[in-house]
Amino acid sequence: MKLPLSMVLVLSTAVLPVFSSCAAGTNTTNTASAKPPCCQEMKPGAIFTDRSLYQLDSEWTSDVGRKIKLGVFEGRPQVVALFFTHCEYACPIIVNDLRRIEAALPEKIRDRVDFLLVSMDDERDTPAVLHAYRESRKLPVAHWSLLHGGAEDVRELAALLGVNYRKDVRGQYAHSNTITLLNARGEIVRQLNGLNQEVAPFVQAIEKSLND
């Protein structure tokens, strides 16, 4: 299902892309029994608003091998970023920024917020590669999901998030450095552009989204 054109136009002009060329390449323990947010079941008969990214009909594969649609994330705020595992500069900083956001969350709400990394490198970042990345970066299982998607699906999601990217001859990507907050309904409510930015306003937006 394609999102309404009006939504695409609104979202694509909502952010100013910040580019960085990814050219070199963080400590929470995973528990064997924990499952990432992508492993929850999609609610039957879910109805999404016309501003919800969860309307997308694309299929994704998580780093644990589960095939999903984005609607499985309904019900909890998601902090989302596009990245790729072979990135030599910006992506490790983006992931670290996500971890700074997570650490800055008040303890009483930390377990109510999830984090989503979507690879823009559909050729190299297989689910197995993403899982190895999770392990190497010690990304917590309980609240972090890593997704692989087809090239067209990634491009569509990126456009709706206001993220631009292009591949160079070395297989690196120049891309926007954008972190997006989706509320429980999958609507964009806040974005953070650039690297190593102040996260306090973003954390405040997360707290507000939990009260909406």
Residue 179 sits in a domain of what CATH number? Answer: 3.40.30.10
110: in domain: yes
State residue 1's pLDDT score. Answer: 47
State residue 44's pLDDT score. Answer: 73
29: in domain: no
Query: Which structural domain, as residue segments, surrounds residue 105?
Result: 5-23+34-211
72: in domain: yes
State residue 9's pLDDT score. Answer: 37
The angle, 0 to 180 degrees and rounded to 10, between the axes of the packed helices 90-104 and 200-211 is 50
Reading the chain (212 residues) residue by residue, the pLDDT tens digits are 454 534 443 444 443 344 444 443 333 444 445 778 887 777 777 789 999 999 999 999 999 999 999 999 999 999 999 999 999 899 999 999 999 999 999 999 999 999 999 999 999 999 999 999 999 999 999 999 999 999 999 999 999 999 999 999 888 999 999 999 999 999 999 999 999 999 999 999 999 999 98
Q: How many domains does the chain have?
A: 1
State residue 121's pLDDT score. Answer: 97
State residue 174's pLDDT score. Answer: 94
- List the one residue out of 3, 10, 196, 157 whose CA is nearest residue 78: 157
86: in domain: yes
161: in domain: yes
58: in domain: yes
> pTM surpassing 0.75?
yes
Please work out, in degrees rounded to the nearest 5, the angle formed at the alpha carbon of residue 124 by the alpha carbons of 70 and 21: 90
28: in domain: no
Are 17 and 178 spatial neighbours (Cβ–Cβ below 8 Å)? yes
CA 86 to CA 89: how far, in whole Å? 9
Are 61 and 153 spatial neighbours (Cβ–Cβ below 8 Å)? no
CA 45 to CA 104: how far, in whole Å? 35
CA 56 to CA 118: how far, in whole Å? 15
